[in-house]
């Protein structure tokens, strides 16, 4: 066990339209209390807040959300809030963080909008992975699957590198249902949660090898960045030259020393209303309810209000989400089509009044 | 044809919870624009506004709605707005009106919350009935059924009394489905729309015979009523002694000279969300939409908003109604249970916070 402390990197760049109308451009998922009292951003920061193990975090976010983030993290302020000049996916965001971190630091990269129901399991996995990350391995956290999920990428384990840690043999895209079931039966396959532990040096080295143009653009942007209190504002023209790539695609699928630490931590990315329904807790009728809601003779529903009282009557397996601005109603299973709803709404709003 | 003009009596006593959350205690159905630009009260007043045939109306209503009614009828002000001291059903309301009307007048009693899609047919029926009403007959309007409806009372016709008018043989309560179908097949049965044409004298005579206690209580109340501009405020203590009876039960089922004038006038009492859905107009997907609504891949729905934008996605045969205060979601067919929703809501609101 190394005594070095870890620098959390919290990625808050998501626009979060998948939980519309609760989330929207101005209020993405990570800034909302979805499953508890705290917002998902606050829960993420808390998960890596023990000073015995962690430094203050670096947060990478859109400038649109800077004030909301600072307000939400007032109790555990970030060492630096790095404001992306434009959305450029996770590889550029992680590069921004690595270039703003101390050269000898170890980084724990975490999306800000994931649920971890068992943070102790997560912490144990982080501790198991730390010596390997300090030694130059890029460690990813593989979530033990409990169902043949087709919505996530998977990681296949190879030989053990140590206690609870394996070399990563292969990263895959989202499988079809039959493949997902076969992998679940076979074992040794894990969901790719997009959480990484790696040294800043390894991160920059891997980027230099696998995505040199991206690293050059981000490095130029950081070298010219403006500092305003705890905020860092990278220079936008250079940053705009960075290609939009996921860190998985840019680095993880190609780098030579990649490890996976399996962890069963009650993880969900809450990527859809269905995922939130699955997360529960459900009442005896299978309804997951939140806010000012009355479900009469209704079963299997996700019903949530942040605005007007919602009453359902004889509803079966429905999604009903209300805010002061908008109401979404869809059968459970159609929630992944929410972008169609947003598009239809935008199209209608753009139409001249007639 | 008599040359005497008719005094419309508009009954606006309904509390209108059946279209909750659009209607509510403070804003009953008749005060809302349900199916057009005008409120149902305004449409009702307009239906009997031709000065060639009609005097200014008398309106019987709850004091809670006095200002809203005066505002809505500003263009066609009532001769008198009679404010019921308490809700006492239609027999007492009609007695209030008859005692406030000129002794020699003929009264056209109309609920204020019904739709009449073909007002010309209604007017023709009124003109056909007028000589009979002037001659002492109590005439009711029988709506030609187009389906085996179990939600209404029925009237059976007997022998013809003149052109388009029959003696009423029998009033019945709501039938079961088989009976309703048999009556539809048989013909000569009509829906009881609760619309009446009768002279004030006949009305008071029938009440004196069939409901003397009720008439005495209302008469004492009217003799002591206070007049405030166009408002009449009957004395409440006497009025409270009037039993709560429908005019059908108190008078129509028992009086000797009752006639029915069949009329096919596109009538609906909009007694449920299903009735409003049936009224249409529906789009090509069978959706009846009103307000700020976007239906994506949705069919057979009634979707209405007076508040936040409502988006449905893949919804089938659903009722979705939103206001700024409340949202109702139910499968079409369950809308008649809306009282359960209100009760559940009240129960929850009464519960102490825990």
Pull the structure tokens for residue A297.
Answer: 């003779």
Residues in chain A: 354
Three-class secondary structure of residue B28 per DSSP: coil
- Hey, of B294, B295, B303, which one would you mutate to test binding to chain A, going by the most A CBs within 10 A of its CB? B294
Supply the DSSP string of B133-180, one letter for each residue: HHTT-EEEEEEPPSS--SSS-EEEEEEEEETTEEEEEEEE----HHHH
- Hey, of B19, B273, B291, B296, which one would you mutate to test binding to chain A, going by the most A CBs within 10 A of its CB? B296
pLDDT in the model for residue A1: 40
pLDDT in the model for residue A346: 83
CA distance A18 to A3: 40
Supply the DSSP string of A131-198, one letter for each residue: HHHHTT-EEEEEEPPSS--SSS-EEEEEEEEETTEEEEEEEE-PPPHHHHHHHHHH--EEEEEEEEEE
pLDDT band (50, 70, 90) for residue B195: very high
pLDDT in the model for residue A350: 61
Q: CATH assignment of A6-268, given 2.70.98.10, 3.90.550.10, 2.40.50.140, 3.20.20.80? A: 3.90.550.10
pLDDT in the model for residue A15: 72
Taking CA atoms, what residue in B is nearest to A309? Answer: B326
pLDDT in the model for residue A349: 67
How many Å lie between the alpha carbon of A318 and the closest alpha carbon of chain B? Answer: 9
pLDDT in the model for residue A351: 57
Question: With b meaning 16 or more CB within 10 Å and e meaning fewer, what string describes A208-233?
Answer: eebbeebbbbbbbbbeebeeeeebbb
User: Among partner residues B296, B328, B348, which is closest to A313 by beta-carbon distance?
Assistant: B328
Contacts of A18 in chain B (CB under 8 A): none
Instruction: Indicate the average pLDDT of chain B.
Output: 92
CB distance A307 to A314 below 8 Å: no
Taking CA atoms, what residue in B is nearest to A345? Answer: B294
User: Cβ B340–A312 below 8 Å, yes or no?
Assistant: no
Contacts of A297 in chain B (CB under 8 A): 337, 340
User: Cβ B309–A325 below 8 Å, yes or no?
Assistant: yes
Contacts of B314 in chain A (CB under 8 A): 330-331, 334, 337
Contacts of A314 in chain B (CB under 8 A): 330-331, 334, 337
Specify the pTM.
Answer: 0.84
pLDDT in the model for residue B353: 43
User: Among partner residues A21, A296, A323, which is closest to B341 by beta-carbon distance?
Assistant: A296
Residues of chain A with pLDDT below 50 are 1-2, 353-354
Interface residue ranges in chain B relative to chain A, Cβ cutoff 8 Å: 21, 294, 296-297, 305, 307-316, 318, 320, 322-331, 334-335, 337-338, 340-341, 344-345, 348
Supply the DSSP string of A231-243, one letter for each residue: EEE--HHHHHTS-
Compute the average pLDDT of residues B224-250.
96
State the count of interchain CB pairs (< 8 A) between A and B.
120
Q: Which candidate, B106, B110, B142, B82, places its Cα nearest to that of B264?
A: B142
pLDDT in the model for residue B129: 96
Taking CA atoms, what residue in A is nearest to B339? Answer: A313
How many Å lie between the alpha carbon of A310 and the closest alpha carbon of chain B? Answer: 5
pLDDT tens per residue across span B282-331: 999 999 999 999 999 999 999 999 999 999 999 999 999 999 999 999 99
User: Cβ A315–B329 below 8 Å, yes or no?
Assistant: yes
Contacts of B300 in chain A (CB under 8 A): none
Complex ipTM value: 0.83
B242 has pLDDT over 60: yes
* Residue-range domain boundaries for chain A: 6-268, 273-350
If residue A318 lies in a helix (H) or strand (E), which one and from where to where? strand A318-322
How many Å lie between the alpha carbon of B22 and the closest alpha carbon of chain A? Answer: 13
Residues in CB range of B89: below 8 A, 6 or more apart: B244, B245, B246
User: Cβ A312–B330 below 8 Å, yes or no?
Assistant: yes
Interface residue ranges in chain A relative to chain B, Cβ cutoff 8 Å: 21, 294, 296-297, 305, 307-316, 318, 320, 322-331, 334-335, 337-338, 340-341, 344-345, 348
Contacts of B316 in chain A (CB under 8 A): 331
pLDDT in the model for residue A37: 86
Contacts of A310 in chain B (CB under 8 A): 326-327, 329
In sequence order, the β-bridge partners of residue A299 are A316
pLDDT in the model for residue A2: 45
pLDDT in the model for residue B342: 86
Compute the average pLDDT of residues B66-83.
94
User: Cβ B311–A337 below 8 Å, yes or no?
Assistant: no
User: Cβ A308–B330 below 8 Å, yes or no?
Assistant: no
Contacts of A291 in chain B (CB under 8 A): none
User: Among partner residues B311, B323, B334, which is closest to A308 by beta-carbon distance?
Assistant: B323
CA–chain centroid gap for B314, Å, is 35
pLDDT in the model for residue B347: 82
């Amino acid at each position: 066990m190394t005594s070095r402390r870890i620098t959390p990197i919290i990625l808050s760049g998501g626009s979060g339209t998948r939980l519309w109308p609760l989330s929207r451009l101005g209020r993405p998922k990570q800034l909302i209390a979805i499953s508890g009292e705290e917002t998902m951003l606050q829960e993420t920061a808390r998960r890596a807040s023990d000073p015995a193990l962690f430094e203050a975090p670096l947060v990478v976010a859109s400038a649109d959300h800077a004030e909301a983030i600072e307000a939400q993290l007032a109790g555990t302020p970030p060492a630096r809030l790095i404001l992306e000049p434009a959305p450029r996916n996770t590889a550029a965001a992680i590069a921004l963080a690595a270039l703003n971190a101390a050269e000898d630091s170890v980084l724990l990269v975490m999306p800000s909008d994931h649920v971890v129901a068992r943070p102790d399991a997560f912490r144990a996995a982080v501790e198991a992975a730390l010596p390997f990350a300090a030694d130059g391995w890029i460690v990813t956290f593989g979530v033990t699957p409990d169902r043949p999920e087709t919505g996530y990428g998977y990681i296949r384990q190879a030989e053990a590198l140590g206690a609870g840690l394996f070399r990563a043999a292969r990263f895959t895209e989202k499988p079809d249902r039959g493949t997902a079931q076969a992998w679940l039966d076979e074992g040794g396959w894990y969901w790719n949660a997009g959480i990484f532990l790696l040294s800043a040096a390894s991160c920059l080295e891997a980027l230099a090898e696998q995505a040199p143009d991206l690293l050059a653009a981000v490095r130029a942007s950081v070298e010219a960045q403006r500092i305003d209190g705890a905020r860092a504002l990278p220079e936008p023209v250079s940053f705009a030259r960075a290609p939009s790539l996921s860190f998985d695609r840019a680095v993880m699928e190609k780098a030579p020393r990649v490890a996976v630490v399996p962890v069963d931590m009650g993880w969900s990315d809450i990527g859809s209303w269905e995922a939130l329904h699955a997360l529960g807790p459900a009442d005896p009728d299978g309804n997951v309810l939140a806010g000012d809601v009355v479900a009469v003779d209704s079963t299997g529903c996700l019903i949530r209000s942040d605005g007007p009282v919602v009453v359902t009557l004889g509803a079966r397996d429905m999604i009903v989400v209300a805010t002061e601005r908008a109401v979404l109603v869809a059968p459970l299973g159609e929630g992944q089509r929410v972008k169609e709803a947003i598009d239809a709404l935008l199209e209608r709003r753009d139409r001249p009044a007639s």
